[in-house]
A and B are shown apart, each in its own frame.
Chain A
Amino acid sequence: MRGASRSKNTQDLDKRVCMTNCPTLIVTVGLPARGKTYISKKLTRYLNWIDVPTKEFNVGQYRRECVKIYKSFEFFQPDNEEGLKIRKQCALAALNDVRQFLTDEGGQVAVFDATNTTRERRETIIRFAEQNGFKVFFVESVCEDPDVIAENIVQVKLGSPDYIHCNTEEAVADFMKRIKCYENSYQPLDEELDRDLSFIKIIDVGRRYLVNRVQDHIQSRIVYYLMNIHITPRSIYLCRHGESDLNIKGRIGGDSGLSARGKEFAKALRQFIQSQNIRDLKVWTSQMKRTIQTAEALGVPYEQWKALNEIDAGVCEELMYEEIQQRYPQEFALRDQDKYRYRYPKGESYEDLVQRLEPVIMELERQENVLVICHQAVMRCLLAYFLDKTAEELPYLKCTLHTVLKLTPMAYGCKVESVCLNVDAVNTHRDRPSNVDVSRLPEEALLTVPDHH
Chain B
Amino acid sequence: QRAGSQNVTVYFIFSFILARGGPHLANPPTVIVMVGLPARGKTYISRKLTRYLNWIGIPTKVFNVGEYRREAVKHYSAYDFFKSDNEDAVKIRQQCALAALRDVKNYLTEEEGQVAVFDATNTTRERRDMILEFGAENGFEIFFIESVCDDPNVIACNILEVKVSCPDYQDCNKTDAMDDFKKRIECYRMNYQPLDPDQYDKNLSFIKVIDVGRRFLVNRIQDHIQSRIVYYLMNIHVQPRSIYLCRHGESQQNMQGRLGGDSGLSTRGRKFAGALAEFVEEQNLKDLKVWTSQMRRSIQTAEALNVPYEQWKALNEIDAGLCEEMTYEDVRERFPEEFALRDQDKYYYRYPSGESYQDLVQRVEPVIMEMERQENVLVICHQAVMRCLLAYFLDKSADEMPYLKCPLHTVLKLTPVAYGCKVESISLNVDAVNTHRDRPERGPSILIRRNSVTPLTSPEPNKKPRMEGLDDPIIREVTPAQLTLCSASHTTLALSTQVSHSYCPYIFTA
Enumerate chain A interface residues (CB-CB to B < 8 A): 9-11, 13-18, 191, 195, 207-214, 216-217, 220, 223-224, 227-228, 287, 292, 296, 299-307, 346, 356, 358-360, 362-363, 366
B contact residues around A360 at 8 Å (CB): 494, 497
Report which residue of A195, A224, A292, A360 has the largest number of chain B beta carbons within 10 angstroms of its beta carbon: A224
CB-CB under 8 A from A220, the residues of chain B are 231, 234-235, 373
Q: Which of A13, A227, A301 contacts B230 (CB 8 A)?
A: A227
Q: Would A212 and B313 count as touching, CB distance under 8 A?
A: no
- Asked if B129 is an interface residue, CB under 8 A from chain A, the answer is no
Query: What is the CA–CA distance of A301 and B488 in the complex, to the nearest angstrom?
Result: 9
Give bound CA distance, A360 to B484, whole Å. 23
The one of A217, A228, A299 in contact with B373, judged by C-beta atoms closer than 8 angstroms, is: A217
Spot the interface stretch: B40-48, B214-222, B473-481. B214-222
Determine whether B376 belongs to the interface, using a CB cutoff of 8 Å to chain A.
no
Whether the Cβ atoms of B218 and A13 lie closer than 8 Å is no
Given pairs A211-B215, A287-B500, 9 additional interface contacts (CB within 8 A) = A15-B312, A17-B310, A208-B197, A208-B220, A211-B218, A211-B234, A217-B373, A306-B500, A359-B496
A301 touches B487 (CB 8 A): yes
A304 and B501 contacting across the interface, CB-CB below 8 Å: yes
Q: Give the Cβ gap from A141 to chain B, nearest Cβ, in Å.
A: 15
B370: chain A residues at CB < 8 Å are: 17, 217
Nearest B residue (CB) for A296: B485
Chain A nearest CB, measured from B61 CB (Å) = 25
- Classify the interface of chain B: helix, strand, loop or mixed: mixed
B256 CB-CB contact with A under 8 Å: no
Q: Which residue of A lies closest to B453 (CB)?
A: A306
Question: What are 21 of the A-B contact pairs (CB < 8 Å)?
Answer: A15-B312, A17-B366, A18-B289, A208-B218, A210-B215, A211-B215, A212-B215, A220-B231, A220-B373, A224-B227, A227-B230, A301-B487, A304-B501, A305-B498, A306-B362, A306-B451, A307-B498, A358-B495, A362-B494, A363-B224, A363-B491
Identity of the chain A residue whose Cβ is nearest the Cβ of B230 in the assembled complex? A227
Picked from A9, A223, A299, A306, the residue with its CB within 8 Å of the CB of B294 is A9
Residues of A within 8 A of B499 (CB): 303-306
Nearest 4 CB-CB pairings of A with B: A359-B494, A306-B498, A307-B497, A209-B218
Tell me the minimal C-beta distance from A52 to chain B in angstroms: 14
Nearest B residue (CB) for A202? B218
* CB proximity of B448 to chain A, nearest CB, Å: 13
State how many residues of chain B have any CB contact under 8 Å with chain A.
47
CB–CB B216/A211 < 8 A: yes
B214:A306 contact, CB within 8 angstroms:
no
B365 CB to closest chain A CB (Å) equals 9
Residue among A213, A307, A356 making CB contact with B215, cutoff 8 Å: A213
Give the CA-CA distance A289 to B219 in the complex, in Å. 41
The A-B contact count (CB < 8 A) is: 128
Shortest distance from the beta carbon of A15 to any chain B beta carbon, whole Å: 6
Q: Is the CB of A300 within 8 A of B485?
A: yes
Given contacts A211-B216, A296-B485, contact A18 B310 (CB under 8 A): yes
Q: Which residues of chain B come closer than 8 Å to A212, judged between CB atoms?
A: 214-216
Q: Please, which residue of chain A has its CB at the minimum distance from the CB of B494?
A: A359
Which residue of chain A is the closest to B294 with respect to CB atoms? A9
- What residues of chain B lie closer than 8 Å to A13, measured between beta carbons? 308-311
Q: Please state if A208 and B497 are interface contacts (CB–CB under 8 Å).
A: no
Which B positions have Cβ atoms within 8 angstroms of A?
197, 214-221, 224, 227, 230-231, 234-235, 289, 294, 308-314, 353, 362, 366, 370, 373, 451, 483-487, 489, 491-492, 494-502
Whether B492 pairs with A305 at a CB distance below 8 angstroms is yes
Min CB gap A200→B, angstroms: 9
For the complex, what is the distance from the CA of A191 to the CA of B308, rounded to whole Å?
37
Measured CA separation A210–B497 after assembly (Å): 29
Contact call B492/A363, Cβ cutoff below 8 A: yes
CA distance A343 to B373 in the complex (A): 31
Compute how far the CA of A214 lies from the CA of B212 in the bound complex, rounded to whole angstroms: 12
Complex Cα spacing A167 to B486, Å: 51
Is the Cβ of A303 less than 8 Å from the Cβ of B494?
no
Instruction: Assess the B492–A11 pair: CB atoms within 8 A.
Output: no
> CB distance B215 to A305 under 8 Å?
no
Tell me, rounded to whole Å, the shortest Cβ–Cβ distance linking B447 to chain A. Answer: 16
Answer whether A210 and B216 are a contact pair too, CB < 8 Å, given A301-B487, A304-B500.
yes
A residues less than 8 Å from B217 (CB atoms): 208-211
List residues of chain A with CB within 8 A of the CB of B227.
224, 227-228, 366
Using known A-B contacts A208-B217, A220-B234, A303-B486, determine if residue A11 contacts B498 with beta carbons closer than 8 Å.
Answer: no
Given the complex of chains A and B, what is the CA–CA distance between A359 and B510 in angstroms? 15
A213 neighbours in B (Cβ, 8 Å): 214-215
A300 to B309, CA, bound (A): 49
Q: In the assembled complex, which residues on chain B have CB atoms less than 8 Å from the CB atom of A217?
A: 370, 373
With A and B bound together, what is the CA distance between A191 and B501 in angstroms? 46
Of A18, A211, A305, A346, most buried by chain B (CB within 10 Å of CB) is A211
Contacting pair A214 B234 (CB below 8 A): yes
The residues of A that contact B494 with a CB separation of less than 8 Å are 307, 359-360, 362-363
Whether the Cβ atoms of A223 and B312 lie closer than 8 Å is no
Contact B311 A15, beta carbon cutoff 8 Å: yes
A380 nearest CB across to chain B (Å): 19
The complex places the Cα of A362 from the Cα of B492 at a distance, in Å, of: 10
Residues of A contacting B487 with CB < 8 Å? 301-303
A303 touches B234 (CB 8 A): no
Provide the bound-state CA to CA distance between A302 and B501, in Å: 9
Q: Which residues of B contact A356 (CB under 8 A)?
A: 496
**Smallest Cβ distance from B16 to chain A, in angstroms?**
27
Q: Are A208 and B312 in contact (CB under 8 A)?
A: no
Bound-state Cα–Cα, A220 to B224, Å: 17
Q: Is A303 touching B216 in the complex (CB atoms < 8 A)?
A: no
CA distance A304 to B486 in the complex (A): 8
Bound CA–CA A303/B218 (angstroms)? 29
Q: Hey, which chain A residues are within 8 Å of B214, CB to CB?
A: 195, 212-213
A208 and B308 alpha carbons, distance in the complex (Å): 40
CA distance A303 to B501 in the complex (A): 7
Q: How far is the CA of A307 from the CA of B486 in the complex (A)?
A: 17
**Residue among B366, B497, B498 with the highest chain A CB neighbour number at 10 A:** B497
Q: Return A419 CB to nearest CB of chain B, in Å.
A: 24
What residue in chain A is nearest B495 (Cβ atoms)? A359
Contact A301 B483 (CB under 8 A): yes
B496: which A residues are within 8 A, CB to CB? Answer: 307, 356, 358-359
Give Cα A235–Cα B340 distance, bound, in whole angstroms: 48
Contact of B502 among A10, A216, A224, A292 (CB under 8 A): A292
Q: What residues on A are CB-neighbors of B451 within 8 Å?
A: 306
From A300, which residue of chain B is reached at the shortest CB distance? B485
C-alpha spacing A292/B215, complex, angstroms = 44
Bound CA–CA A300/B497 (angstroms): 22
Task: Give the CA-CA distance A115 to B58 in the complex, in Å.
Answer: 42
What's the nearest-Cβ distance from chain B to residue A356, in Å? 7
Question: Complex formed: what's the CA distance from A90 to B222 in Å?
Answer: 40
CA distance A432 to B308 in the complex (A): 39
For residue A358, which residues in chain B have a CB less than 8 angstroms away from its CB? Answer: 495-496
Assembly CA distance A10 to B227 (angstroms): 32
Q: Shortest distance in angstroms between B198's beta carbon and chain A's nearest beta carbon?
A: 10
